[in-house]
Amino acid sequence: MNLEEALRQITPPDERAGQEAKARWDSIAKPLGSLGLLEEAVIRVAALTGSARVELDKRCATVFCADNGVVAEGVTQTGSEVTAVVAENFTRGDASVCAMARAARCDVIPVDIGVARDLSGEGLVVHKLGYGTGNIARGPAMTREQALDALSFGISLVGELKQKGYRIVATGEMGIGNTTTSSAVTAALLGLPAEEVTGRGAGLTSEGLAHKIKTVERALVVNHPDPNDGVDVLAKVGGFDLAGLAGVFLGGAVHRVPVLIDGFISAAAALAAARICPAVKKAMLASHLSDEPAAALALGALGLRPLITAGMCLGEGTGAVAALPLLDMALAVYREMSTFWEIEIDAYQPLS
Ligand SMILES: O=C(O)c1ccc[n+]([C@@H]2O[C@H](COP(=O)([O-])O)[C@@H](O)[C@H]2O)c1
Ligand SMILES: Cc1cc2nc[nH]c2cc1C
């Protein structure tokens, strides 16, 4: 299915199911709205899935791994070879996100969408669009066809996961250099100067940061991405990981599966997905506020507020997975708590 056909399948959320979930929250014997964003998240999932019986029991994190040509500009603290090493560690359960996912009863699905060498390992999904992207400071990251391929792949992956019974998908990524591409994508989509959207990534010095800002500026001048065309932005200054993740967000809306945004890289991908099709925002949930400075700008532009502010910036899907136990706790209250009526307390009817 091509992108346009997939996007035509997106229909508005079921407001009736959302209202039913809101009515359930409002009936629970506790101060109105007092679980804040947790209540909102359950209502959003109810509206997206068309049922106030919200189930998030079977969950996974899809971790998109890819290399980025822009690493050649010296914008990272470590070399590209780290991407492949960490990607293979995902298959052995030996990465931060794997440990957190075990605690959160979440499966980890590593995806090689463009790591610079061939990988092996159990459970690895391979959809390799290249051995790393082009260097965005010198030319485009990829062709438009490759970006469209990544988007279609992300959309169909969510469809397959839904068929396997997954009820929520956490996004994650691993790719040395992908904070540089995310900054370029965010600058292009939001029309912001490079210095406002560029941070230290996985640990740059102040000197390194100044050079990274110049590199993002150059990528924008060299490539002229069209801010009205999310596919163009991903192809010219994005990465295979970002484009695949944007596909996962689109897939969430197509297949009506909620998708958790992780940190800055996931948020930049979500922003691109929303530029391609604004309706997909309804399938997104923001998990945490990454310490990368532009994460707040990206989430703000999406109109989303994160559940967690913990100064995290690890990537891999760690923030998205960290939100799952919070959602479990929200659902425990939502399902198990007595109502005002049941414990015979008179409560004023809420205004809305
Ligand atoms: O999730 C985030 O907000 C985040 C912020 C900074 C760095 N990271 C991780 O660090 C890597 C990218 O950092 P860099 O400096 O190589 O661009 C990549 O593998 C990400 O998973 C992730
Ligand atoms: C070791 C390592 C693990 C990571 N996980 C996500 N980004 C990373 C960057 C490094 C350097």
Q: Which of 75, 86, 313, 321 to mutate to test the pocket of ligand 2 (most atoms within 8 A of CB)?
A: 86
What's the chain's average pLDDT? Answer: 97
Backbone angles phi, psi at 225, to 5 degrees: -65, 145
Q: Is 316 in the pocket of ligand 2 (CB under 6 A)?
A: yes
Mean pLDDT of 199-223: 97
3-53+333-343: CATH, from 1.10.760.10, 1.10.1610.10, 1.20.1250.20, 1.10.10.10: 1.10.1610.10
Mean pLDDT of 178-198: 98
Q: pLDDT for 136-179, tens place per residue? A: 999 999 999 999 999 999 999 999 999 999 999 999 999 999 99
Residues with CB under 6 A from ligand 1: 76, 173-180, 201-202, 262-265, 290, 292, 295, 313-316
Which of the ligands is closest to the CA of residue 76? Answer: 1
CA-based nearest residue to 18, from 252, 264, 282: 282
Considering the domain delimited by 59-328, tell me its CATH architecture: 3-Layer(aba) Sandwich (3.40)
Mean pLDDT of 232-244: 99
> Residue 346: its pLDDT value, please?
79
Kindly give the distance from the C-alpha atom of residue 314 to the centroid of ligand 2, in angstroms, as a whole number. Answer: 7
Supply the residue whose CA is at minimum distance from atom 9 of ligand 2.
Answer: 202
Kindly give the distance from the C-alpha atom of residue 87 to the centroid of ligand 2, in angstroms, as a whole number. Answer: 10
Long-range contacts of 105-108 (CB under 8 A, 24+ apart): 105/59, 105/324, 106/59, 106/60, 106/61, 106/170, 106/321, 106/324, 107/59, 107/60, 107/61, 107/166, 108/60, 108/61, 108/63, 108/172, 108/317
> Residue 350: its pLDDT value, please?
58
Q: Which of 135, 215, 265 to mutate to test the pocket of ligand 1 (most atoms within 8 A of CB)?
A: 265
Q: Domain segments of the chain: what residues?
A: 3-53+333-343, 59-328
Q: Is 174 in the pocket of ligand 2 (CB under 6 A)?
A: yes
> Residue 344: its pLDDT value, please?
83
pTM for the whole thing?
A: 0.98
Kindly give the distance from the C-alpha atom of residue 36 to the centroid of ligand 2, in angstroms, as a whole number. Answer: 32
Which residue is catalytic, options 73, 88, 292, 316? 316
pLDDT of 196 > 80? The answer is yes
Q: pLDDT for 77-103, tens place per residue? A: 999 999 999 999 999 999 999 999 999
Supply the residue whose CA is at minimum distance from atom 6 of ligand 1.
Answer: 201
> Residue 247: its pLDDT value, please?
98
| Confidence category of residue 34, pLDDT binned at 50, 70, 90 | very high
Supply the residue whose CA is at minimum distance from atom 11 of ligand 1.
Answer: 176
pLDDT of 351 > 60? The answer is no
pLDDT of 345 > 60? The answer is yes
| Confidence category of residue 41, pLDDT binned at 50, 70, 90 | very high
| Confidence category of residue 352, pLDDT binned at 50, 70, 90 | low
> Residue 162: its pLDDT value, please?
98
| Confidence category of residue 349, pLDDT binned at 50, 70, 90 | low
Q: Whole-angstrom Cα distance, residue 13 to residue 307?
A: 21
Mean pLDDT of 272-295: 98
Kindly give the distance from the C-alpha atom of residue 348 to the centroid of ligand 1, in angstroms, as a whole number. Answer: 48
> Residue 303: its pLDDT value, please?
98
Kindly give the distance from the C-alpha atom of residue 149 to the centroid of ligand 2, in angstroms, as a whole number. Answer: 26
CA-based nearest residue to 162, from 276, 266, 85, 58: 58
Catalytic residue list contains 122: no
Mean pLDDT of 194-200: 98
> Residue 180: its pLDDT value, please?
98
Mean pLDDT of 33-48: 98
